[in-house]
Amino acid sequence: MAKVLCVLYDDPVGGYPPVYARDSVPAIGGYHDGQTTPSPEQIDFTPGELLGSVSGELGLRGFLEERGHRLLVTSDKEGLDSEFERELPDADVVISQPFWPAYLTAERIAKAPRLKLAVTAGIGSDHVDLDAAIAHGMTVAEVTYSNSISVSEHVVMMILALVRNYIPSHQWVLDGGWNIADCVARSYDLEGMQVGTVAAGRIGSAVLRRLKAFDVGLHYTDRHRLTEEVEQELGLTYHATTEELVRVCDVVTINAPLHPETEHLFDDELIAKMKRGAYLVNTARGKICDRDAIVRALETGQLAGYAGDVWFPQPAPPDHPWRTMPHHGMTPHVSGSSLSAQARYAAGTREILECWFAERPIREEYLIVAGGGLAGAGAHSYSARETSRNADEGDQAEPG
């Protein structure tokens, strides 16, 4: 019997939903690069249900208990007295989401001698100390691509919300006003602007594809350059460095992993090299941006707007300055946890567990660490010097 410890976010304040806004979600069979969506032997949930909260249990309880395993689900993960901390020492499997990660630091891994599998329900395993996982003989896996499109849609939404000044305009309606001049004084068309992504992995590339229809100039920088065919198809301009990219872009979206080269990349110095009045969107890692530099740039007007759904730390404390800085469009870490995405990453989590318990190979594209080293998507995205910095930092990553 295995003990599976699952850390999920809390249920809605009003209670677990008895009904939903829609009766179903579209069935997606595959992704743009040809990878198929998760394919477990079966599922015990209805796609479109709230699976990522405690009561949703990722739809795993029946599957696990029928096979004699024990499932413990909690949202209590902070501090030495948390349920997560108490239950970890004899856990065999830990599951969490990047939106509410269970931080598997080297110290915590050392306290869990039975721990052999860490699963991210979604994309991004930077909450796991990968060096410690390798030394411990663990497997680390995630449901690659399951919510990449969800995040890319969120990015496009935030770009439009900032450029068109949507949130303040909506607030005038809520406040009973009709102040058209106030609404449009900071509203522009996206058409004709230069838009660039820092990293063009699955999320960054999906953002570029979705923005092509807006008749904008498209730019990117990435450690892995895209093919000439893709560059021509999308009309992309490649930049060897982030600095080169930001100098020419009106809008910059960050879709990169957090590692030593990107931590606090967007500081006062780099932001000063951006166009005055540029917009910055970050759904990748909170710590890729210097927190106070962002606030200063918005206050001086160097940035016209900042939006994203990743913070440092996460959850953000009530006095976090990004909650109150001017001209922002911040959300909690929700971009990759739509009900549509949950159907995929819950199914992918079950697929990984089915393979694990049956001692079958886990999909190569789902692997981050296996067999004593980086594997699969992890080998593509990380290097040996990048595997131990982020296990307690609470930010989302996606293998590129």
- 207 closest CA partner among 259, 272, 276, 284: 284
Residue bearing tokens 């809605």: 12
Coil, strand or helix at 119? strand
Average pLDDT over residues 296-315: 95
- What is the residue extent of each domain of the chain? 3-147+337-386, 148-323
Candidate list 108, 136, 285, 328, residue with the active-site label: 285
Does residue 396 register a pLDDT over 70?
no
Catalytically annotated residue among 314, 342, 390, 396: 314
Contacts of 122 (CB under 8 A, 6+ apart): 97, 98, 99, 142, 143, 146, 147, 336, 337, 341, 345
Residue 313, judged by CB atoms within 10 A of its CB (0-12, 13-18, 19+), counts as middle
Residue 147 known to be catalytic: yes
Rounded to whole angstroms, the Cα distance separating 216 from 135 reads 47
Mean pLDDT for 281-290 is: 96
Same fold for the pair 3-147+337-386 and 148-323:
yes
314 part of the active site = yes
User: Phi and psi at residue 252, in whole multiples of 5°?
Assistant: -125, 130
Tokens of 295: 């606030």
Mean pLDDT taken over the chain: 94
Scan for tokens 């891994």, then name that residue.
109
**Catalytic residue, candidates 69, 108, 136, 147:** 147
Whole-number pLDDT of residue 387: 54
pLDDT of residue 126: 86
Asked if 127 is an active-site residue, the reply is no
| Residue 285 appears among annotated catalytic residues | yes
pLDDT for 326-335, tens place per residue? 999 999 999 9
Class of domain 3-147+337-386: alpha beta
59-114 pLDDT, tens digit per residue, is 999 999 999 999 999 999 999 999 999 999 999 999 999 999 999 999 999 999 99
- CA 247 – CA 270 distance, rounded (Å): 9
At 319, is the pLDDT very low, low, confident or very high (cuts 50, 70, 90)? very high
The CATH number corresponding to 148-323 among 3.30.465.10, 3.40.50.720, 2.60.120.380, 1.10.357.10 equals 3.40.50.720
Specify the pLDDT at position 399.
41
